[in-house]
């Protein structure tokens, strides 16, 4: 009996470790874990140097607009590029044309959005973040101008990353994540006396540039880049048709942090920084799995859907169960240890005991949404692969309205904690909607 049980366990372990999807996710999770550890060390340095200060608040405001542009507009193009490029490989194989079109689309997008961002910061910053003195706005603008070139580096890096992921070069693509935190740490340790308050944005820009150069070099070595004359075919048309609903979905989702920072900016100084620190641990957990889930599952689902849609759904539901249960256990353990984690990681110099208590409570609230957020992310990748972007656009719109409404209500009673509580509730509701809709699509397709 014991021998039979051991044989079954051994066989199951061998089966799991022979699964290419599992191995790729494990590889990226491992590398991402190392990247996040380095990033956490960076955050401890930042906390030590700046605490919950106005300087750090202005940094987060300065990088907010470029981050939204990257996540919403540029990142969306990458997510649509991967499934449609895979379809191109399986059909007409005009990859040179497809790559050239995508490259020019990224360039046009980045240039246009850069100009809009400059106009926004120049004329509307005081209107969106009212109630501060001119020194505050000057600090935001000064840092914003330094970080703005990152839009170009992020745009082209996303394109180059996509090419590597499609060819299953996950290790090479994920290594690019090391450059930014390492260079920011280097700037903090060695260049802060010279760079002053510009040290963080300078490190961010230099790190983004280094990551772009690395990815470009790796793509040239792997010979993945193949430009050619642009010919608009059905796959390019499909990518263009899906861009509008997909970017709308990403926009409504990406605006949520902007909304939270808008409300936080109306509270006491340090509220923005408190939210940022309080969500570091949830972001650590999510960040590791986002790279593993997003970078591996999108190309995997895109390939599998073309070959066997029923099998793709079966894998999706199995992955959802594993991720929810696993991340739920991690979240519960982290909530229990929350106070000690914040104290060990951040409490030194400018970051005092009072800051620890504030950040720890925010962290506990935010950790609740981790399992739900990850399940939503898995469904988003699957629905992107089957081009259900209109549904996601409408869902994101209603989630945004719900977040704004709940922020208005909860901030009156719970101040900065209410903002995080609102986000948590919205993520939980969104998870049920996305999983339910995905299951409904399965039933419609295979049980009409």
pLDDT in tens, 147-183: 999 999 999 998 898 888 888 787 788 788 889 989 9
Lowest mean pLDDT among 198-212, 269-283, 380-394: 269-283
What is the 3-state composition of the chain as percent helix, strand, coil, each rounded to the nearest 5? 90, 0, 10
Asked if the model's pLDDT at residue 294 lies above 80, the reply is no
pLDDT, residue 218, reads 93
Residues ≥6 apart with Cβ < 8 Å to 379: 316, 320, 434, 435, 437, 438
Q: Determine the distance from the C-alpha atom of residue 312 to the mean position of all C-alpha atoms in its chain, rounded to a whole number.
A: 24
Please tell me the distance from the alpha carbon of residue 288 to that of residue 33, in angstroms, as a whole number.
Answer: 6
45 HSE (CA, 13 A, CB side):
19
Judge whether 49 and 350 are in contact, CB under 8 Å.
yes
- Tell me the three state secondary structure of residue 351: strand
Instruction: Report CA dihedral (396, 402, 403, 409) to the nearest 10 degrees.
Output: 180
Q: At residue 205, does pLDDT exceed 90?
A: yes
Query: What's phi and psi for 348, nearest 5 deg?
Result: -165, 150
> What percent of the chain has a predicted confidence (pLDDT) above 90?
14
429 pLDDT tier (thresholds 50, 70, 90):
very high
Between 155 and 275, whose confidence is greater? 155
Side-chain-facing half-sphere of 335: CA atoms under 13 Å: 13
Q: How confident is the model at residue 214 (pLDDT cuts 50, 70, 90)?
A: very high
* pLDDT band per the 50, 70, 90 thresholds, residue 399: confident
Question: CB within 8 A of 70, min separation 6: which ones?
Answer: 150, 151, 154, 155
Least confident of 60-74, 85-99, 131-145, 188-202: 85-99
Q: Are 431 and 372 in contact (CB under 8 A)?
A: yes
Cα distance between residue 47 and residue 349, in whole Å = 8
Half-sphere exposure of 366 (CA within 13 A, CB side): 24
Instruction: Say how many C-beta atoms besides its own lie within 10 A of residue 423's C-beta.
Output: 24
Region 435-447 average pLDDT: 84
Q: What angle do CA 231, 236, 238 make, to 5 degrees?
A: 145
pLDDT of residue 16: 46
Sign, CA dihedral 369-433-69-36, equals positive
Structure tokens at 324: 């929810």
Confidence of residue 209 (pLDDT cuts 50, 70, 90): very high
Residue 206: count other Cβ atoms within 10 Å of its Cβ: 20
Average of per-residue pLDDT across 127-142: 86
**pLDDT tens digit string along 97-130?**
888 888 888 899 899 999 999 998 888 888 877 8
* Residue bearing the bigger pLDDT, 383 or 348: 383
Per residue in 317-335, pLDDT tens?
888 888 888 888 888 888 8
Q: Which of 173, 171, 178 is nearest to 160 (CA)?
A: 173
Whether the Cβ atoms of residue 219 and residue 164 lie closer than 8 Å to each other: yes
């Amino acid at each position: 009996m014991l021998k039979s049980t051991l044989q079954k366990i051994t066989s199951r372990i061998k089966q799991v470790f022979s699964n290419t999807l599992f191995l790729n996710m494990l590889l990226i999770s491992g590398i991402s874990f190392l990247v996040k550890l380095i990033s956490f060390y960076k955050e401890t340095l930042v906390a030590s140097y700046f605490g919950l200060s106005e300087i750090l608040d202005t940094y987060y405001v300065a990088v907010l607009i470029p981050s939204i542009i990257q996540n919403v507009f540029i990142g969306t193009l990458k997510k649509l590029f991967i499934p449609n490029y895979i379809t191109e490989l399986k059909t007409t194989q005009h990859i040179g044309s497809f790559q050239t079109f995508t490259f020019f689309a990224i360039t046009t997008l980045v240039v246009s959005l850069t100009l809009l961002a400059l106009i926004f910061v120049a004329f509307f910053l005081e209107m969106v973040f009212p109630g501060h003195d001119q020194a505050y706005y000057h600090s935001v603008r000064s840092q914003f101008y330094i970080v703005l070139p990152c839009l170009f580096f992020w745009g082209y890096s996303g394109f180059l990353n996509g090419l590597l992921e499609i060819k299953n070069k996950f290790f090479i693509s994920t290594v690019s994540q090391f450059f930014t935190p390492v260079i920011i740490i280097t700037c903090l340790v060695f260049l802060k006396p010279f760079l002053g308050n510009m040290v963080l944005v300078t490190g961010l820009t230099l790190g983004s540039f280094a990551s772009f150069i690395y990815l470009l070099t790796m793509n040239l070595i792997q010979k993945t880049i193949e430009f050619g004359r642009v010919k608009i075919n059905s796959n390019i048309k499909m990518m263009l048709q899906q861009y509008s609903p997909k970017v709308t979905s990403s926009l409504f989702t990406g605006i949520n942090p902007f909304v939270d920072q808008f409300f936080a900016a109306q509270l006491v100084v340090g509220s923005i920084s408190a939210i940022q620190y309080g969500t570091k641990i949830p972001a650590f957990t999510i960040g590791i799995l986002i790279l593993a889930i997003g970078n591996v599952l999108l190309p995997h689902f895109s390939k599998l859907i073309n070959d066997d849609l029923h099998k793709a759904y079966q894998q999706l539901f199995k992955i959802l169960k594993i991720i929810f249960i696993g991340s739920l256990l991690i979240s519960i353990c982290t909530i229990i240890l929350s106070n000690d984690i914040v104290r060990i990681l951040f409490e030194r110099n400018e970051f005092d005991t009072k800051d620890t208590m504030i950040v720890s409570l925010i962290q506990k609230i935010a950790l609740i949404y981790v399992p739900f957020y990850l399940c939503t992310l898995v469904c988003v990748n699957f629905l992107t692969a089957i081009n259900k972007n209109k549904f996601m656009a409408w869902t994101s719109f209603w989630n945004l309205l719900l977040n704004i409404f709940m922020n208005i209500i909860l901030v009156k009673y719970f101040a900065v904690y209410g903002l995080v509580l609102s986000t948590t509730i919205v993520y939980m509701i969104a998870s049920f909607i996305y999983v339910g809709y995905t299951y409904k699509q399965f039933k419609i397709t295979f049980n009409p």
